[in-house]
Chains A and B, each alone.
Chain A
Amino acid sequence: MAKQFVKGNEAIVKGAILAGCRAYYGYPITPASEIAHAAAQYMPLVGGTFLQAESEIAAINMVYGAAGTGLRAMTASSSPGFSLKQEGMSYLAGAELPCVVVNIMRGGPGLGNIAPEQSDYNMTVKGGGHGNYKNIVLAPNSAQEMCDLTILAFDLADKYRNPAVLLADGFIGQMMEPVDFPEPVTEFAEKTWAVRGVDQDRRNLISSIELDPDDLERHNQKLQRKYEIISNNETRYEEYQLEDAEYVVVGYGIVSRMIHTAVDQLREEGVKVGMLRPVTLMPYPTIRLKELAEMDQIKAFSVIELSNGQMVDDVRLAVNGKKPVEFFGRMGGNVPSIKELVHEIKRMMRVV
């Protein structure tokens, strides 16, 4: 297909529909609203459902209903709205329902602002709602990946019967880039557990309630095993200029694009620096970071986020004290310039 120049937010919807998603329930919020706009435009054309719900809470529960029927279903929001969805996401995780939820992060806490932040890392990657659960979390850094990772999110959600979150920031949602859209997905896993209103599904039950402590513990253990399998099979990351690197800069989403440029500039100055960019945040590339930390060549790590330092905890856990791990973050919707990044990376690497 010819490339199309689209907004990241629109690429999500086109990717979702190509992935066979036929149900979108959502509530408008800047900077995620274009996702709802595009879903409202395209879902009816392909025989799907678009419904603007009365709240984020209702929207995620509509997704619960639609996903329970076996349909590929999604919702999207931005930080404050994503907070509201946490109750429903806990139920989806507990009932092991596949769905895709998009969070185009903005500045917080509270109403904050509409500028890009990465301050929902903990809420998204560590669970967010009540209970021992995890979301699969994918972090796109381009409009192309907004499409590709949405499709992957639906596949992983179905494969593991687990909610999958596309975690992006306001910039990735708002920016436009050429996207090479793939052919539509035509083969889907059979969902024998779904409730489809037919005789053979009458014994099926979509539920997260387990009254007996032993039953609930077994259910939780099963979920933990599932997360382990996901970690073993689905970890994805991108490496840039790491072959001979002495310093590793870690960042995801829009920040990884900036680090990319900063690494190029630092390399021109002769600084041996490279980037590790997690594409999946759950599962996290812990093993790769551990390997890097054990390499003599690597002297230190630095983590850059648009937050108070949330992902840095996961890097520190992986590196486990073997090498220094420094952090630089901006908040409030501010984004560092490349000059600032170069300076900060140098500072962190003790090069200056």
Chain B
Amino acid sequence: MSVKILSKSEAFYDTYERRPGSNKDQTHYCPGCGHGILHKLIAEALVDFGVTKNSIVVGPVGCSVFTHYYFNAGNFQSAHGRAPAVATGVKRSLPESIVLSYQGDGDLAAIGGNEILHAANRGEAITVFFVNNAIYGMTGGQMAPTTLIGQKTTTTPYGRTLENEGYPIGMSEIISQLASPVYVERVMLADTRSINAARKAVRKGIENQVEKKGFSFIEVLSTCPTGWKMTAPQAEEWIKTTMLESFPLGVYKDIADQVEPLILHKDTVPSRRVPKFLGLNQEGEGFDISQMKIAEDVDQEIKIAGFGGQGVLSLGVWLSEIGMREDLKVSWIPSYGPEMRGGTANCHVKLSRTDIGSPLVTHSNILIAMNRPSLEKFEADVVEGGVIIWDNSLIDIEPTRKDIRNMPIPATQIAKDLGTTRISNVVILGVLAGITDFLDPDVVQRVLPIIFKKKQLLSINLKAFQKGLELGRELAN
């Protein structure tokens, strides 16, 4: 027969130095409170599984706000209700550590309802201890979401009613309905036998994490003699006679044996290889500015507008991508947000030899209008002598201004003849290269393969560009 020597767990500090005052040997909990018992069960389990050194305890707000006085582990103190979110951040960063989230009923089931629900639903590989004593202890005995019907608290002085506060919330019942948690059990701390059962549940919850099984949730019905205005024995009795009616004990879910261990480890990429994964080209692209045929002075303010889906935003991006490789200063800015979905879209593009101040184009020297509303809306903003390129295969009116260069281009029709209306924007790009002096056609044709994501469409796009370029050159002469 083995002899068990009872001593303080190594997962507790020898003395509680963080505790203020002279008494460094005892906890700050009230006599008869269940927190101390649960702390002990957890501390013993950490030692038994040999994980004390890499355990991290995330404490809540409430009576157990000072878990860091006691657990000789890594310690986090968190905001009210947020312990499961903090524990998520910790566990995801340190997948090899054992992360325990410790919360009371107000913290977990009221203000932190969302955080616990979603940590459980994601199946975070943590262990959650939920102390349910049906009352707010620390703040002065107010109602908790788990307060029983008829129970008097400082905020239910006439007793909790169905009409005003509804039923007490069953967190184990809720959490066990989710697919991800592997283990949900409700236990109580009411006598030696129930504490032994609780001990098993605590161990199971920690063992699950050691074995990387996923999310474990242990609800512990616990005494609060002070909040309940009872003696310690009365409080234990009250759990058994009264609390159990609303909070039946039992294993609500246990699939730990049926699930494979989670793969939590992540391979870190060495810094020097990071640019490659970000799509950054460390080699350069070999564009030679001295060989380019573009004007000395470039100061373009372009507005491109049309229906969503006509590629007006893309056309603006391409112009900028080309300009950037021509060593011009460029900027692009869209009209953004839901108002552009399915409706009209427009973007502002600036290309210049000098630094660009405001990226906004209020008065364009080139307007590209791909539908009628765009022409109507932006025609007035074009500067005197500016260019209006408009798709006369779609727009059934003409620009009214006579002080601008009027350039009707049947871009959609040309694109359709080439096989798809979706490349009307490339036709316009060709026209621009034909009529202006800031787009070197050779550069454009070298840039297009870099920026077009769908390589199988490259040849048709190059054809559309060529067609536009020829048309543009004709118009320019």
A interface residues with partner B (beta carbon < 8 Å): 1-5, 14, 17-18, 20, 22-23, 25, 30-31, 42, 45-49, 51, 53-55, 57-59, 61-69, 71, 73, 87-88, 91, 95, 114-115, 170-171, 174-178, 181, 183-186, 195-199, 201-202, 204-209, 211-212, 254, 257-262, 264, 335, 337-339
Contact = CB atoms under 8 A, between A and B. Distances in A.
Interface in B309-323: 317, 320-321
A120 B24 CA distance: 46
Contact of A177 (B268, B285, B331): B331
B278 A181 contact: yes
Contacts of A201: 74
A196 B82 CA distance: 20
A62 B274 contact: no
Nearest to A199: B53
A3 B282 contact: no
Contacts of B284: 1-2
Q: Sorted from nearest, which 8 A-B pairs have the closest CB atoms?
A: A65-B89, A197-B97, A261-B357, A207-B77, A195-B74, A61-B85, A62-B89, A260-B357
Contact of A25 (B18, B73, B89, B362): B89
Nearest to A204: B74
30 contacts: A1-B282, A1-B284, A2-B280, A3-B324, A18-B274, A18-B278, A22-B268, A30-B336, A30-B338, A31-B336, A48-B266, A51-B88, A53-B85, A57-B82, A57-B115, A62-B88, A64-B89, A65-B88, A68-B89, A88-B79, A174-B336, A177-B330, A196-B97, A197-B96, A199-B53, A202-B72, A205-B68, A207-B76, A209-B77, A261-B357
B64 interface: no
Main secondary structure of the interface of B (DSSP, over half): mixed
B275 A42 contact: no
Of the listed residues A20, A25, A184, A212, the one surrounded by the most CB atoms of chain B closer than 10 A to its CB is A184
Nearest to B284: A2
Which among A64, A65, A68, A211 has the greatest number of chain B C-beta atoms within 10 A?
A65
B332 A264 contact: no
A65 B358 contact: no
B93 interface: yes
Contact of A54 (B75, B114, B267, B281): B114
Given A58-B114, A184-B274, A206-B76, A5 B88 contact: no
Interface stretch (B54-62, B185-193, B416-424, B459-467): B54-62
Nearest to A255: B358
A53 B88 CA distance: 10
Contacts of B65: 209
B307 to A, nearest CB: 20
Contacts of A261: 357-358
Nearest to A184: B271
A176 B82 contact: no
A15 to B, nearest CB: 10
A17 B278 contact: yes
B93 A69 contact: yes
A4 B451 CA distance: 11
B359 A196 contact: no
A197 B94 contact: yes
A343 B53 CA distance: 67
Given A55-B114, A257-B359, A338-B358, A64 B74 contact: no
A71 B93 contact: yes
A65 B330 contact: no
Contacts of B268: 22, 46-47
B357 A195 contact: no
Contact of B360 (A45, A88, A258, A264): A258
Contacts of A68: 76, 86, 89-90
